[in-house]
């Protein structure tokens, strides 16, 4: 695939993109982009940074590239640095797609986040890991395997400022540590090992535990489990710097029922009380249960998000805000079971014609209202 978004030809592409999207929407994005009011500019005024996930294939979408350049200060790889992608066969590393995204970030002065080194759900491990490469010494072999994977990947991307080291380790229904072959053989120390290996390889990067506990009432057990995990990690002196709040809010279309704001604050108080930083790593709004009418729906999404952002950004320990993509049509949520009315979801800051939605302006206003850190 040809990468068309290097700095060299960006200007041409921006012009092409403007032509392609038509005068009105091009005006809307061009008017906001690179100017004093881009989301990253607003975020920076508060001591924050704003960014988004990007996938390799989006490098050949000039309009997506333009939005990344115009709005973002940080890029996170959506899938390209996950273990099955970087090491599809034992010892065979394929960093090309990650490298292409890293190059795009560097060419456009974007910081780079790495996602993720260990996804604690067995189905997201490489097939060859799942099918048990243990040999005669399972413990030592597994420790070596984890350590090598983490050291090798981090070593390849020394520019990464923030790593999701372990992703989604806590069961949502049980609040207990999920099991993979690593924890089955090594116990919870498998998680500790990941962070110690990451710290050794990246002494200065932010090391994050990333999960999707949220403010919805159904998330109470998940939140409690994450708190227990974080307490244990602190006690054992494991080098974890921050909790990544994935922030896939509105899960199950719960955006109509009142969220547990007080419980969310208590959770964030406890996390920060233990000395952890915070960041929003994968923000989007699942509008599954909301009305069909786009304008009404967008208003409800924006209002719901604004409440979440106001509370969450009020914590000065929070440094990055990343959305899980920028444009509705590309969102991973479009691949969930469809909405009852069959219309596409509207979870992100730009609609499928790359025009900013009410959610974009809610994010901008939340940055304006956030305390300086």
Shortest distance (Å) from residue 80 CB to ligand XIL? 10
Shortest distance (Å) from residue 38 CB to ligand XIL? 24
Q: How far is 209 from 163, CA to CA, in rounded Å?
A: 9
Q: Does 120 bind ligand XIL (CB under 6 A)?
A: no
Count of residues in contact with ligand XIL, rule CB under 6 A = 6
Q: Cβ-closest residue to ligand XIL?
A: 332
Indicate the SS3 state at residue 310. Answer: helix
Count of residues making up the chain: 373
Shortest distance (Å) from residue 146 CB to ligand XIL? 18
Q: Which of 29, 41, 71, 167 binds ligand XIL (CB under 6 A)?
A: 167
Residue with smaller CB distance to ligand XIL, 56 or 360: 56
Q: Which of residues 269-288 bind ligand XIL (CB under 6 A)?
A: 282
Residue with smaller CB distance to ligand XIL, 78 or 298: 78
Q: Does 312 bind ligand XIL (CB under 6 A)?
A: no
The candidate with the shortest Cα–Cα distance to 326, out of 3, 37, 74, is 74
> Residue 189's CB: how many other CB atoms inside 10 A?
14
Q: How far is 90 from 297, CA to CA, in rounded Å?
A: 47
Shortest distance (Å) from residue 47 CB to ligand XIL? 25
Shortest distance (Å) from residue 265 CB to ligand XIL? 24
Q: Read off φ and ψ for residue 75, nearest 5 degrees.
A: -120, 135
Residue with smaller CB distance to ligand XIL, 79 or 272: 79
Residue with smaller CB distance to ligand XIL, 42 or 76: 76
Q: Does 143 bind ligand XIL (CB under 6 A)?
A: no
Q: Give the pairing type, strands 162-167 and 318-323.
A: unpaired
Shortest distance (Å) from residue 138 CB to ligand XIL? 27
Q: Does 78 bind ligand XIL (CB under 6 A)?
A: yes
Q: How far is CA 234 from CA 163, 228, 245, in A?
A: 18, 10, 18
Shortest distance (Å) from residue 103 CB to ligand XIL? 21
Residue with smaller CB distance to ligand XIL, 332 or 361: 332
> Residue 44's CB: how many other CB atoms inside 10 A?
14
Shortest distance (Å) from residue 150 CB to ligand XIL? 17
Residue with smaller CB distance to ligand XIL, 192 or 282: 282
Indicate the SS3 state at residue 84. Answer: helix
**End-to-end Cα separation, the chain, in angstroms:** 41
* Region of residue 338 (phi > 0: left; psi between -120 and 50: alpha; otherwise: beta): beta
Residue with smaller CB distance to ligand XIL, 33 or 171: 171
Residue with smaller CB distance to ligand XIL, 41 or 114: 114
Residue with smaller CB distance to ligand XIL, 282 or 287: 282
Residue with smaller CB distance to ligand XIL, 78 or 328: 78
Q: Which of 106, 332, 344, 352 binds ligand XIL (CB under 6 A)?
A: 332
Shortest distance (Å) from residue 211 CB to ligand XIL? 8
Q: How far is 40 from 61, CA to CA, in rounded Å?
A: 21
Q: Does 79 bind ligand XIL (CB under 6 A)?
A: yes
The candidate with the shortest Cα–Cα distance to 55, out of 5, 128, 10, is 5
Q: How far is 65 from 143, CA to CA, in rounded Å?
A: 39
Q: Where are the beta strands (DSSP E) in 216-341?
A: 242-245, 248-249, 277-285, 318-323
DSSP string, 174-198: T-SBP--HHHHHHTTHHHHHHHHHH
> Residue 319's CB: how many other CB atoms inside 10 A?
20
Q: Which of residues 208-267 bind ligand XIL (CB under 6 A)?
A: 246
Shortest distance (Å) from residue 53 CB to ligand XIL? 7
Residues that bind ligand XIL (CB under 6 A): 78-79, 167, 246, 282, 332
């Amino acid at each position: 695939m040809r990468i068309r978004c290097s700095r060299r030809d960006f200007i041409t592409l921006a012009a092409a993109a403007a032509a392609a999207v038509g005068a009105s929407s091009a005006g809307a994005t061009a008017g906001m982009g690179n100017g004093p009011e881009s989301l990253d500019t607003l975020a920076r005024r508060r001591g924050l940074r704003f960014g988004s996930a990007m996938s390799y294939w989006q490098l050949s979408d000039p309009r997506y590239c333009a939005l990344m350049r115009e709005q973002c200060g940080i890029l996170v790889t959506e899938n390209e640095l996950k273990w099955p992608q970087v090491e599809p066969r034992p010892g065979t590393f394929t960093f090309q797609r990650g490298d292409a995204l890293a190059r795009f970030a560097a060419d456009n002065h974007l910081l780079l986040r790495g996602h993720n080194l260990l996804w604690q759900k067995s189905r997201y491990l490489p097939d060859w890991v799942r099918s048990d490469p243990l040999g005669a010494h399972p413990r030592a072999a597994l420790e070596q395997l984890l350590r090598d994977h983490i050291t090798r990947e981090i070593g390849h991307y020394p520019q990464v400022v923030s790593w999701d080291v372990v992703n989604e380790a806590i069961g949502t229904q049980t609040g207990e540590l999920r099991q993979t072959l690593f924890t089955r053989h090594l116990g919870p120390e498998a998680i500790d090992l990941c962070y110690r290996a990451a710290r050794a390889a990246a002494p200065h990067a932010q090391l994050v535990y990333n999960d999707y506990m949220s403010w919805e009432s159904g998330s109470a057990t998940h939140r409690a489990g994450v708190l227990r995990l974080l307490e244990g990690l602190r006690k054992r002196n494991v080098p974890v710097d921050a909790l990544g709040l994935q922030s896939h809010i509105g899960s199950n279309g719960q955006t109509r029922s009142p969220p547990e704001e007080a419980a969310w604050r208590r959770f964030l108080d406890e996390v920060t009380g233990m000395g952890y930083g915070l960041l929003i790593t994968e923000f989007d709004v699942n509008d599954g249960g909301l009305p069909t009418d786009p304008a009404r729906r967008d208003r409800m999404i924006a209002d719901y998000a604004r409440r979440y952002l106001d509370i969450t950004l009020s914590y000065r320990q929070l440094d990055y805000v990343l959305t899980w993509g920028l444009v509705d049509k590309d969102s991973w949520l479009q691949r969930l079971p469809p909405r009852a009315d069959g219309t596409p979801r509207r979870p992100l800051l730009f609609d499928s014609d790359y025009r900013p939605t009410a959610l974009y302006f809610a994010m901008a206003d939340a940055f304006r209202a956030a305390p300086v850190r």
